[in-house]
Chains A and B, each alone.
Chain A
């Protein structure tokens, strides 16, 4: 369990003070994948560096990992504790003069293992990340995704219980991002690792994080399980993330057009339906058409899977008897679907 209490971090640069993190308190449970999402400059990287004290919080901050307050440790004890917290980075940070296997062995030095034991351990880790065949390559010969796999193997070499991922997929293409996320998820399940993921990409959080904290201006503005945070965003910044990831915001542009241009006849309505529940599995659209004898002309739909549950919605034009449409919309609202009438023709 990671407990952060009253974490603030102020930088003094040339007479200016910049507050990168202000008064953040968080609990991260054992075995969960915890996401911290925010746009760049929100303070998330600084916050995660407080967990292994790469950055020290201002006076009064408490960083407790498994019941131990790291800020109170001596330099030597802190180094020992740090090796129980793995970390991977956006730029991978592999040592270019060392081969893949030597990179993985790096953190094993001085741990009382023989050279042979170190090598065996490194090979086992490389097998876990599917890269044993490149053990003797240099980092410059690897692709971005492979480099991050090596970095993961290296971070796991000391058998940590915690893995910190600082924008670990931001330098990778979408396919490779997906592969790395799958690997992280697998490690979480197999090794019961507690994983903290820092990202500015909604796609990362929605794929793997159990819980998420949304950061803005150094503060945590929203916190909860991933599905509820994104199904029901309360803060502007959270809504922006959801919007950025979803096509449904395009409907706002359509609503600005004259109805004729959308081919709408008088009495028809442009409606956006957003799913708020994890239980939306029944065929809502066809049910509503049959029940109320109306027609829904779907313009587009966008459904994302957030931690395995669908989130998103549909945008379309309802046509039919005025009363039927009203009843249909009410029925949908009762089903806990968010209904927005964007345009009346």
Chain B
């Protein structure tokens, strides 16, 4: 077995520890940055939906500000964001390098995209359901949790899958500021030292991660769609 692997991916077999470390770094960034971005994106997506014209807590000013902020941050390319947020990262997490330093740009790069996705998921909830809930005396908070969120679970899972997969792409880029992870691994060995088998291996690992996210999500969607 080892002989075969040695023949196909010699440069990976020679440094298995580094591969494991970079896989764990990617997972670490995904989980931490992903969870923070998930919570924030949900929050902003909900704020967008309820403050929108005709929403249950219509508020032109809040909606206007948030809507524009999201547009501004969505239009900044991630590589530029990585560089631009260095001072900000130092203030927030105390460092601008390494996996921890990459967290801030990862969150800032994901939240606007995910907020829009959440907004679109929640706007798929029939207005009639909101009206019915209001007529039954539900409070705004009750409508958010018991109607908007509950009724759009399959849709929310779908947009979370999409965002998680695009976050994998971002963590790879975060390698550029020494964030570590699979992207960093592939660039340092695969690209800079011409060890293409390293590149292919990282692609394979990322492919496995993507399909796990897809399968897990699809399972939940199937269970919650009636």
**Which A residues are closer than 8 A to B by beta carbons?**
52, 54, 79-83, 85-87, 89, 91, 93, 95-98, 106-107, 109-110, 138-140, 154-155, 158, 164
Our pick among A91, A98, A138, A158 for the contact of B136 (Cβ within 8 Å) is: A158
Contact check, B146 vs A138: say whether CB atoms are below 8 A apart.
Answer: no
Q: Which residues of B contact A93 (CB under 8 A)?
A: 126, 128-129, 131-132
B135 at the interface (CB under 8 A from A): yes
Knowing A89-B131, A93-B129, A138-B226, the reply to whether A106 touches B151 (Cβ < 8 A) is no
Contact check, A91 vs B151: say whether CB atoms are below 8 A apart.
Answer: no
Q: Which residues of A contact B226 (CB under 8 A)?
A: 96-97, 138-140
Contact check, B137 vs A80: say whether CB atoms are below 8 A apart.
Answer: yes
B191 at the interface (CB under 8 A from A): no
Shortest Cβ distance from A140 into B: residue: B226
Q: Which residues of A contact B131 (CB under 8 A)?
A: 54, 89, 93
Our pick among A79, A81, A95, A107 for the contact of B129 (Cβ within 8 Å) is: A95
Q: Which residues of A contact B151 (CB under 8 A)?
A: 95-97
B14 at the interface (CB under 8 A from A): no
| B110-138 interface (Cβ within 8 A of A) | 126, 128-129, 131-138
Contact check, B137 vs A158: say whether CB atoms are below 8 A apart.
Answer: yes
Contact check, B150 vs A95: say whether CB atoms are below 8 A apart.
Answer: yes
Knowing A95-B151, A96-B226, A106-B146, the reply to whether A82 touches B129 (Cβ < 8 A) is no
Shortest Cβ distance from A87 into B: residue: B135
Q: How far is the CB of A26 from chain B (nearest CB, A)?
A: 19
B70 at the interface (CB under 8 A from A): no
Q: Which residues of A contact B129 (CB under 8 A)?
A: 93, 95
Contact check, B146 vs A79: say whether CB atoms are below 8 A apart.
Answer: no
B224 at the interface (CB under 8 A from A): yes
Shortest Cβ distance from A96 into B: residue: B226
Q: Which residues of B contact A87 (CB under 8 A)?
A: 132, 135-136
Contact check, B134 vs A91: say whether CB atoms are below 8 A apart.
Answer: no
B174 at the interface (CB under 8 A from A): no
**25 A/B residue pairs, CB under 8 Å, sorted by A:** A79-B138, A79-B139, A80-B137, A82-B135, A82-B136, A83-B136, A85-B135, A87-B135, A89-B128, A89-B131, A89-B132, A91-B126, A91-B128, A93-B126, A93-B128, A93-B131, A95-B147, A95-B151, A97-B151, A97-B153, A106-B133, A107-B136, A138-B226, A139-B226, A158-B136
Contact check, B137 vs A107: say whether CB atoms are below 8 A apart.
Answer: yes
Shortest Cβ distance from A76 into B: residue: B139
Cα–Cα, bound, A155→B135 (Å) = 9
Q: Which residues of A contact B132 (CB under 8 A)?
A: 87, 89, 93
